[in-house]
Amino acid sequence: MKPIYKLVAVGLLLTGYSCKKELYKDPIGLLTPNQISTDPTLNTVQSSVKSSYQMLSNTLNILGEWRWDLGTVFRNDYILYDMASDDVQKKWNPDGDQAWMDQVSSFNFTASNQGFNGQWSYDYEGISRSNLAISYLSDQALTTKIGLDPQLKNRLLGEVYFLRAFYYFDLVNNFGDVPLLLKPLENFAEAYSVSKRESKDNVLAQINTDLAQAKTLLPTSKYSDNTEKWRVSKGAVIALQAKVALYTAKWQDVINAVNELETLGYSLNARYFDSFDVTKEFAENEVIFAYDHQSGQTPRNGNGISAPLDWGFIAPTTAFLNAFEPNDPRLEYTVNVPQKAVYKLLGATNTTYKGNDDAPTNKIYIRFADALLWKAEAYNELGNAAQAIALINKVRARARTTVRIDGTMPPAGTLPDRDGTVTDKALIKSWLIQERRVELGFESARFNDLKRWKIAKQVLTAAGKNFQDYNYVYPIPQGEIDKSGGSITQNPGY
């Protein structure tokens, strides 16, 4: 069976060369005759699970060949989250190349901007693949026929429930209400019947349902498979549960989930860069969920983002560089300004992988330092100042005890502890905002942080951006609205 590579959103498919031409393409998720296998094999089922991960990769040209016009050359997290924030600019030397990225960065875009189409396409393609895998793994007769071990079946099913939840969480954070697809679609009537937006609350409820199911199906261990450590683990599920709780202000749930993570063996690495170092992948203690890029694979599975890094894309703003306190080693491990190298994205403290569009560097989505700061935020919101400050100081302590790239230690007095006697919630939150910015730079966290703290307009306007109140959600891609015949509606303001 050929995997479904054509899902974008109901009633729609990847925007193409002309609106008129594309209006006649099949609805998303539709299983066409050449995609249906009447006799799925064990390999078919296992491959359907593995392919569900692929839309989280930075591999180039997964959806089309150099379709800059569709925003699908690579996954657009760095554009919609990092360039949209005050931390990252499009290029080291601004120019007119890929002006649509500048439009996202400045908030002078329209609903036709390909950045939104690209993210929508990647997420819904991931959902389509996850739905296909779930349909196979939920079919008891099929799994019995192909001899799928029940323990393996449960683990695989837990993986794809997580992945579907992950893609939907990205969608609701970007677009608010979105179409909710929970199974492969087999005919036009079924496709068009779901060609409408479901409320964000209902989508979040489904995300929580999927994560709850995944948690019961995955083994209670740091890795769900010790031979393929890249697979979704119970820790990844718990971490995403914590993040959903954070975004919905369920503070005690955040604390409980992060506490549970610690029982599975996650902790801060002794050195800050170990989470990003390509030589230490799956041999450190902090990364909870990452996409495993590998060089030299067929089909290609390398980290293609190293190529645009060599073309001058993805550079720090001056404000980001100035946000670091004196001698904070996290700055030099994040970016080398003279060499124009973003070390965290390259996976090395040199330029070995710069320009390599098949680099082995993993894409990190969740790590324990992020989760600790979620927990600190939850404690602060619940009025437990001492616990919040202690966690912020734990992250700062790891930073100041990290050996610098030249082998020396930061000088005495670097990153002193925050005053643990402070009880002012607003002051503690300002410390948290600062710590998250420098700890998680270039990890696609800043923009969503600003939005959920309701300070995006204040901060981004001060940074010279045209952020408006309605920009707290992005526009639904206009091509998707057109192809749905208007049954998918636009967000206000667009």
In this predicted model, what pLDDT tens digit does every residue of 123-175 receive, in sequence order?
A: 999 999 999 999 999 999 999 999 999 999 999 999 999 999 999 999 999 99
- 368-381 and 425-439 are packed helices; what angle lies between their axes, rounded to 10 degrees? 170
Q: Would 1-218+465-494 and 226-453 be classified into the same CATH topology?
A: yes
Give the pLDDT confidence of 334-350 residue by residue, as tens digits: 999 999 999 999 999 99
Q: How confident is the model at residue 192 (pLDDT cuts 50, 70, 90)?
A: confident
CATH of domain 1-218+465-494: 1.25.40.390
Whole-angstrom distance, CA of residue 453 vs CA of residue 447: 10
3-state SS class at 301: strand
pLDDT at 483: 87
Rounded to an integer, the average pLDDT of 324-335 is 98
The encoded tokens of residue 135 equal 């349909």
Mean pLDDT of the chain: 93
pLDDT at 374: 99
Nearest CA-CA partner of 191 in 476, 479, 475, 484: 484
Please list, in sequence order, all residues whose beta carbon lies within 8 angstroms of the beta carbon of residue 205, skipping any fewer than 6 positions away.
none
pTM for the predicted model, two decimal places: 0.94
Q: C-alpha angle with apex 448: 265 to 430, nearest 5 degrees?
A: 80
Please list, in sequence order, all residues whose beta carbon lies within 8 angstroms of the beta carbon of residue 385, skipping any fewer than 6 positions away.
379, 422, 423, 424, 425, 428
Kindly write down the DSSP assignment for every residue of 91-150, as one continuous string.
ESS--STTHHHHHHHHT---TT-HHHHHHHHHHHHHHHHHHHHHHHHT-HHHHHHTT--H
pLDDT at 20: 33
Position with higher pLDDT, 449 vs 485: 449
Phi and psi angles of residue 440, each rounded to the nearest 5 degrees, phi first: -115, 20
Q: How confident is the model at residue 39 (pLDDT cuts 50, 70, 90)?
A: confident
pLDDT at 32: 45
Q: How confident is the model at residue 5 (pLDDT cuts 50, 70, 90)?
A: very low
- Residue spans of the domains in the chain: they are 1-218+465-494, 226-453
At 295, the amino acid letter reads S
Contact yes or no for 204/248 (Cβ under 8 A): yes
CATH of domain 226-453: 1.25.40.390
pLDDT at 36: 53
pLDDT at 38: 66
Please list, in sequence order, all residues whose beta carbon lies within 8 angstroms of the beta carbon of residue 85, skipping any fewer than 6 positions away.
446, 447, 450, 460
